[in-house]
Amino acid sequence: ITSNGKLTPDFEYIAALREANSAKIVGDFSSKKKALILGAGYVSAPVVEYLTRDTELGVTVASALKSEADHLASLHERTEPVLLDIVERPDLLDDLMKSHDVVVSLLPWTLHPEIAKRCIANKVNMVTASYLSPALKGMHDEAVAAGITVVNECGVDPGIDHFLALECFHDVQNSGGKIESF
């Protein structure tokens, strides 16, 4: 495959493959405000669409699946795709965080404690739609000390469902009823 530290002609295509699949921090990060979206799955599209309504906000979509990040970024202005596997390349995650104002994690909830830990270390605010886990709750004082805000449970479920439940509670109470359990 190699000779004298270089790929032989039959295997030079490997260098192009590695380049195409390598993680790169690219894009126009000149926007006044920047949001880093972690994940490019189905939930990400409405979030990116909503965020890009703000013409002063730049959005970066980071995903371990380059094709998903590329597709999502192609649909919205001021949106850049980045190939990133946060487990294998936490150093690149840190670099990205340092150039953004907020991280919106749409990754599986099991990854949120690690994302929060890095947000705290990099002093970057974090938002996620997932429920508040004991691990995240345990980081509250660290987040306060770092001067950042970590917002959980803001989405449809969890999130809006909480407001709907509260509305139901108020309706019951305003009608003279009492909520005994929830």
Please list the pLDDT of the chain residue by residue as tens digits (182 residues).
777 777 788 888 877 776 665 544 444 556 689 999 999 988 888 889 889 989 889 999 999 999 999 999 999 989 999 999 999 999 999 999 999 999 999 999 899 999 999 999 999 999 988 888 899 899 999 999 999 999 887 765 555 556 667 778 888 999 999 888 77
Which residue's structure tokens are 């959005």?
59
* The pLDDT of residue 23: 46
Residues 47, 37: contact at Cβ < 8 Å? yes
| pTM, full prediction | 0.72
Catalytic residues: 157
Report the alpha-carbon distance of residue 28 to residue 145 in Å, rounded.
31
Helix (H) or strand (E) holding 36: strand 33-38
E-assigned strands of 57-170?
57-63, 79-83, 102-105, 125-128, 150-151
Helix (H) or strand (E) holding 116: helix 112-122
- Which tokens go with 99? 């150039």
Report the alpha-carbon distance of residue 46 to residue 54 in Å, rounded.
14
